[in-house]
Copies of this chain bind each other. A is one copy, B any other.
Amino acid sequence: MNVTKLATRSGGGVGDPQPTTLAVKVYEQLRRDIRSGALVPGSPLRTEWLKSHYETGVSPLREALARLAAESFVTAQGKQGFRVAEISEADFDELVDIRRALEAGALEAAIANGDDDWEAEILATYHKLIKAASPAQGADAAAEEERERRHRRFHEALIAACGSRWQLRFLENLTSHLERYRRIMRPASQVSAGFVKDVADEHRELMERTIQRDVKGALKVLDAHRLRTYSAIKNQFANADES
């Protein structure tokens, strides 16, 4: 056994199976900052600022931006650089529609195909979700990021067994975009005690019905769950129009 090699690796001696590249790291950081709303929609992404802020050269940067452009997180316009993708109510409506269709199909397929591992993963991610700090407390960015991550993981676990990597890939993209809308608009109602409790109840019921293989029930709860934040964000758009 080669002790030296093991020592150079992090964690319990398990090396990265796929050693990551700098471009991928920048891509992930940029995506996180766009999703969180830290990078405001429409603002230009200037090379110098990006270089100093993400501590990297232009090559990894452009590679990351190209990927983000393909996923519609940024827009690339000719030879005028990149911008954070704009948001709009029309775009939001499109996202909601197509996500609803794809997610319903995926959940149904997952309930049909899921095995014990799938069930166990749902329980595990649900547990971590309810253990996360509620939006009321822990208003700092790191806590919010962790809460969002666990929320994503839970919903991903529900449909993970749907059997279609394409469906999962599209859904991840759509969900990330919708998360951006949710966090940018950040309806005041979203942090109220009543809202938080209702969402928590929905998560529990969604988890239970899914594992019980109650397709109709699970779909109904999922729809209600999505409709709740959907309405809240639509209200924000309406309010913005008035002012």
Partner-B contacts on A (CB < 8 A): 16, 18-21, 23-24, 59, 62-64, 66-67, 69-72, 76-79, 91, 94-95, 97-98, 101-102, 105, 163-167, 169-170, 174
Contacts and interface: CB of A to CB of B under 8 A. Distances in A.
Given A70-B67, A72-B169, A78-B21, A164 B98 contact: yes
Interface of A is mostly: helix
Contacts of A62: 23, 59, 62-63
Given A67-B70, A98-B164, 6 more contacts: A19-B78, A23-B62, A91-B166, A94-B164, A98-B166, A101-B101
Contacts of A105: 101
A79 B167 contact: no
How many copies of this kind of chain does the complex include? 2
A98 to B, nearest CB: 5
A165 B86 CA distance: 14
Contacts of A97: 164
Contacts of A63: 62-63, 66
Nearest to A27: B66
Closest 9 CB pairs of A and B: A70-B70, A18-B78, A66-B66, A63-B66, A94-B164, A67-B70, A66-B67, A19-B78, A94-B166
A156 B139 CA distance: 46
Scoring A23, A59, A63, A97 by chain B CB atoms within 10 A of each residue's CB, the highest score goes to A63
Nearest to A19: B78
A162 to B, nearest CB: 10
